Structure 1
Amino acid sequence: MVGKALEYILWIGFYFMTFYALLPALISRIFGFRVFMRGKTDREIALTFDDGPDPLYTPQLLDLLKRYGAKGTFFLVGSHAEQYPDIVARIHAEGHVIGIHNYVHHSNWLMRPKTVRKQILKTSDIIKRITGSRPDYYRPPWGIVNLFDYRRLGHLQIVLWTSIFGDWKIRVGAEKLYKRMRRKLKPGEVFVLHDCGRTFGADENAPAQTIEALERILRDGFDEGYRFVGIDEMIALTERNAQASRSLPQASLTSQSATGGESRVTAEGNETASKAARSARKVGPLKKAAVAVWMLWEKLFHVTFHLQPVGDGTSFNYRVRKYSGPTVEMRDGKRLRSGDYVMEMHFENKMLYDMGMNSRSSVHTAIRLVREVERGLPDLARALDTARHGDKVVALYGISIIHRGSEGLGFQTFELPKGVFSWMTHLYLRFMLSVINPEGGKRLREHGERLTPRQIIMEREDLLAWKERTGKQRPSRASRSEAAPTPLAVDPAIGGDHIGSTM
């Protein structure tokens, strides 16, 4: 009983840290989901300032920006704005953008969703009373979002950054701060700086060095032809440039013949398409870091829940456990009941990632995953002979986003019961799709409503039928194979997800 209770506690810990805190932060930072981080501009840079207003340093900063004709974005702490409404009014009057930085400078990871919402609404009300308009932009303290921020902040654009310099610590010094900023002085950058040192972990007089270093940056920037703009202009320019760049490949891929009407693919178009394909598979340092964390999390999960390798261990793992869900009505009147033993199958994350990054398309990834399951089923069947409680296993069990094709292997699919587990599983599998396939983000945007996890279950007898399979031969079962086996049908909306990987 103690061991079971410990397992439940570990599960809860995994879920909380992964779904409430870790995954939203990674999704936002790595994939830019629902956040703005970097501009696509020719000569514009966005200066953003957190934690103010401050009665001493914010007016000095405004004087500096005015002197150089620069615009900035101020993410205000609501309690500070409430104390210094005249400074907030001046920020607004001088044409700078105002955003929300919570009412108090507390991390969203440490607050309930309802509390975060109250903080944002309270700050929005304060700013509206002072300026006459509500902010459109939000930056959570330390740039940390929780899971519910996506759903509850639909009316606000979350803004993160490309460069952060540690300017809240006075030991950095103005000279070192200037050098850090100078290295990042280029179009599209979103700088995060601080005009107030009265928050936890900051030094009260640190903004003095920020203002000193920023004056040199403004001078350098204007000498080199850069413009310092508010985040609203940066986003508008980025969207405009992105729309223009999307139309360029089409223009380069086709050209009208002299007679008109017929288009042909040019060499230039082929080169453009080839470069685009290679670019889609480039992995930046942030995504590499996210993948490394994901792999480490998997190793910890394997150790904690005693997963066993299947075959050479490069594709599958499994564990035998007691099923704890509602009763599932299978074929021939058989039932999977709570307390029955199941063999729970898991894909190796490294294999999924490598496969997704090296597939020609998301459809190609899905087909390869189905084939990988097909190759692994004989090993899973043979593992029943040596697995602890293998003789008691009623079914092979997994959770999948792929709904079509698994039946051809002998699986039956069932809806995942509604609840917290279903919701968390849905989020995790969608995150995996974004990580393992270059087109994952696009698939989520276009077909998100069709990417619904389902239980996939194979009865023990069907699994054992794979035990002696040879070559390309598939086992058959009279109750499910009245028609000849057909090729697997893969939904074209489905991308790099996985069959049977549960958490």
Structure 2
Amino acid sequence: MYLVKTPWLLKKLYSKFIWNDDRSRRRIYITFDDGPIPVVTPFVLKNLKAHKAKATFFCIGDNVRKHPDIFEQIKADGHAIGNHTFHHLRGWKTDNETYFNDMQQCQQLTGTNLFRPPYGRIKRKQADLINAAYPDMKIIMWDVLSGDFDITLDPAKCLEAVLKHTGNGAIIVFHDSLKAFPRLEYVLPRALEHWSKEGYEFEMLG
């Protein structure tokens, strides 16, 4: 089960995390989790470039290690990089020391001030360890979850939900992964075209 739109109460309970940006400006923040990988990440980069859109990529350290050329292309295209742990660990099911060490292993490759916990699951103690070691680190969550990872979701329905719930200041999650690609391949170019026509600016987190 997942919610496309993050409830305000959850944002209030975890107010130290970043869920969205200023609602008064017509801009959105497109983010991609789990890459970089062949085929999918280059497809994303091609579509972003076509719309002169900047985005933020929350990278898995092991994928950076396996595909350094694609990782370098993300940076060369001017996009922002985030830490998504080295092994895509689920915080609630991982002891704090293991989780923190895994995050640090990814940090050695990404050198970023942005962190997103895989699955959006992180214990308060894990967040405290990260913030103590990296005072400038921002823990980024999201306002809109595309659901592109849901293999039962029709691509057209995925697009409909994303467009319905995206507004000023939204942080939107997509996935540059093989699992998500059947939905992402359909949704991303159409969403970018729609948002461009609606006058949104595409900005990076930072």
Q: Same fold (TM over 0.5)?
A: yes
8 Å Cα contact 2:89/2:99 also seen in 1: no
Match of 1:145 among 122, 131, 136: 122
1:243-269 per-position Cα deviation (integer Å, ceiling 9, x unaligned): xxxxxxxxxxxxxxxxxxxxxxxxxxx
8 Å Cα contact 1:61/1:195 also seen in 2: yes
Q: Give the whole-Å Cα distance in 1 for the aligned partners of 2:9 and 2:107.
A: 26
Query: Aligned residue for 1:405?
Result: none
Match of 1:95 among 60, 74, 78: 78
8 Å Cα contact 1:100/1:124 also seen in 2: yes
8 Å Cα contact 1:37/1:159 also seen in 2: yes
8 Å Cα contact 2:144/2:166 also seen in 1: no
Q: Give the whole-Å Cα distance in 2 for the aligned partners of 1:219 and 1:61.
A: 14
Q: Give the whole-Å Cα distance in 2 for the aligned partners of 1:30 and 1:55.
A: 38
Q: Within the alignment, does 1:228 sit opposite 2:202 as a pair?
A: yes
Larger Rg: 1
- Structure richer in helix, relative to its length: 1
Post-superposition shift, 1:116?
1.1
Post-superposition shift, 1:172?
1.1
Query: Aligned residue for 1:207?
Result: 181
Task: Give the aligned CA root-mean-square deviation in angstroms.
Answer: 1.7
8 Å Cα contact 2:115/2:139 also seen in 1: yes
Query: Aligned residue for 2:190?
Result: 216
Q: Give the whole-Å Cα distance in 2 for the aligned partners of 1:185 and 1:140.
A: 22
Post-superposition shift, 1:29?
3.6
Query: Aligned residue for 1:63?
Result: 46
Q: Which runs of 5+ in 2 are unaligned?
A: 1-7
Q: Give the whole-Å Cα distance in 2 for the aligned partners of 1:60 and 1:80.
A: 16
- The alignment partner of 1:171 has SS state of coil
Match of 1:35 among 12, 17, 25: 17
- The alignment partner of 2:42 has SS state of helix
Alignment of 1:277-426 (within 5 A): none
1:202-249 per-position Cα deviation (integer Å, ceiling 9, x unaligned): xx3x323213211111111111111111112xxxxxxxxxxxxxxxxx
- The alignment partner of 2:162 has SS state of helix
8 Å Cα contact 1:185/1:221 also seen in 2: no
Post-superposition shift, 1:27?
8.8
Query: Aligned residue for 2:160?
Result: 179
Q: Within the alignment, does 1:115 sit opposite 2:98 as a pair?
A: yes
Q: Within the alignment, does 1:194 sit opposite 2:171 as a pair?
A: no
8 Å Cα contact 1:27/1:33 also seen in 2: no
Give the TM-score, by structure 2 length.
0.88
- The alignment partner of 2:124 has SS state of coil
Match of 2:62 among 58, 79, 85: 79
Q: Give the whole-Å Cα distance in 1 for the aligned partners of 2:9 and 2:150.
A: 28
Q: Give the whole-Å Cα distance in 1 for the aligned partners of 2:9 and 2:102.
A: 23
Q: Give the whole-Å Cα distance in 1 for the aligned partners of 2:15 and 2:75.
A: 29
- The alignment partner of 1:172 has SS state of coil
Query: Aligned residue for 1:166?
Result: 147
Q: Give the whole-Å Cα distance in 2 for the aligned partners of 1:94 and 1:63.
A: 10
Q: Give the whole-Å Cα distance in 2 for the aligned partners of 1:66 and 1:88.
A: 16
1:21-41 per-position Cα deviation (integer Å, ceiling 9, x unaligned): xxxxx9964334321001114
Give the percent of matched residue pairs that are identical in Structure 1 and Structure 2: 28
Q: Give the whole-Å Cα distance in 2 for the aligned partners of 1:59 and 1:100.
A: 19
Q: Give the whole-Å Cα distance in 2 for the aligned partners of 1:36 and 1:79.
A: 25
- The alignment partner of 1:35 has SS state of coil
Q: Give the whole-Å Cα distance in 2 for the aligned partners of 1:171 and 1:60.
A: 22
Post-superposition shift, 1:170?
2.9
Q: Give the whole-Å Cα distance in 2 for the aligned partners of 1:75 and 1:67.
A: 21
- The alignment partner of 2:100 has SS state of helix
Query: Aligned residue for 2:5?
Result: none
Q: Give the whole-Å Cα distance in 1 for the aligned partners of 2:80 and 2:159.
A: 24
